[in-house]
Structure 1
Amino acid sequence: MAGIQIGEVVSLLFMAIALGMDAFSVSLGIGMQKIRLKRIAFIGIVIGIFHVIMPFIGIVLGQAISSSIGSLTTLLGGLLLVGIGSQMVFSAFNHEVPQVIKTTGIGLLFFAISVSIDSFSVGLGLGLSGVKIALVLILFGAASTILTWLGMIIGRKVRGLLGVYSEILGGSILFAFGLYIIFG
């Protein structure tokens, strides 16, 4: 009995890390902007909260919504990242274009939704499997928070090395990850 519970925890932990990797990847690009450590900490917490809210909603609605909506939400999340990444690359060449990615207010909410939307899809599936909801939510939230912090801190260090090219690299990372979500 204990082996089954440990196995379930390990499986959910790997799933939480896999879902948090998109937050890590996107955070690399975001971290290349001039962001203070205090703000990085706050952003990581917000991402973690959304990685709790989205799968919870998915789990609750898992039996009520068909699986076809899961692929639609993933597609929309990927398209959002492609658009944000494209804008970052273009704004690196045209300094008159305002930044789309803002780590405050509504921009932070869009960012959090875009990296946690796949957690909603996973939550739909988990809602049908009868998994321990509290365990899932704690693991998903903690993994995404930690991976977001790690990505932003690494991105911040890389920015110092790359200078003006960091925005192009950051936008390229977001664009590529969006394409991966759409076609991967």
Structure 2
Amino acid sequence: MASCNKMIGVLLVFFPALLLEMDVLPRSAGRKALLSAASSQRSVARMDGDVIIGALFSVHHQPPAEKVPERKCGEIREQYGIQRVEAMFHTLDKINADPVLLPNITLGSEIRDSCWHSSVALEQSIEFIRDSLISIRDDRDGGTRCLSDSQPQLQTRVKKPIAGVIGPGSSSVAIQVQNLLQLFD
């Protein structure tokens, strides 16, 4: 059990080729980088922990005018966007490594791209809500599932509810996200 708490899994799919090429992720013993395709169009960076903090960072530029209805993001913001993701992971690593700050508790994160655009940020906020509702449902059900004529099997919880959300960077978008998220407080 203690080894599970120490093991931090990171799922990075924002820019796997860029991260591998630049080797920007620190290689610590407690963290392993896992790269895989996202289940939807949007990419998510995750760090496992007992308490999960959500983040909406503008990793990409706003979508060009012709792509706004499709909510497709623009080019990667190499400095602005990537630095925020790295800063959050670094900060959580430092907090989790200090046994005095939060004894026996690890902080994790789920970072989503807001593309500095309100419709994308709201879409990502809805994903936070959806994941939290699924997690609550799984808790209520006891996390067991039956597969046709077989014994109930305990499922490991993949996602935990988000305790709070950092961002987005734009005040007007932050107000819209706050108005949406407060409905599910």
Is the TM value for this pair above 0.5?
no
**Larger RCO (alpha carbons 8 Å, 6+ apart):** 1
TM-score, normalised via structure 1 length: 0.31
Higher helix share: 1
Query: Which one has a larger percent strand, Structure 1 or Structure 2?
Result: 2
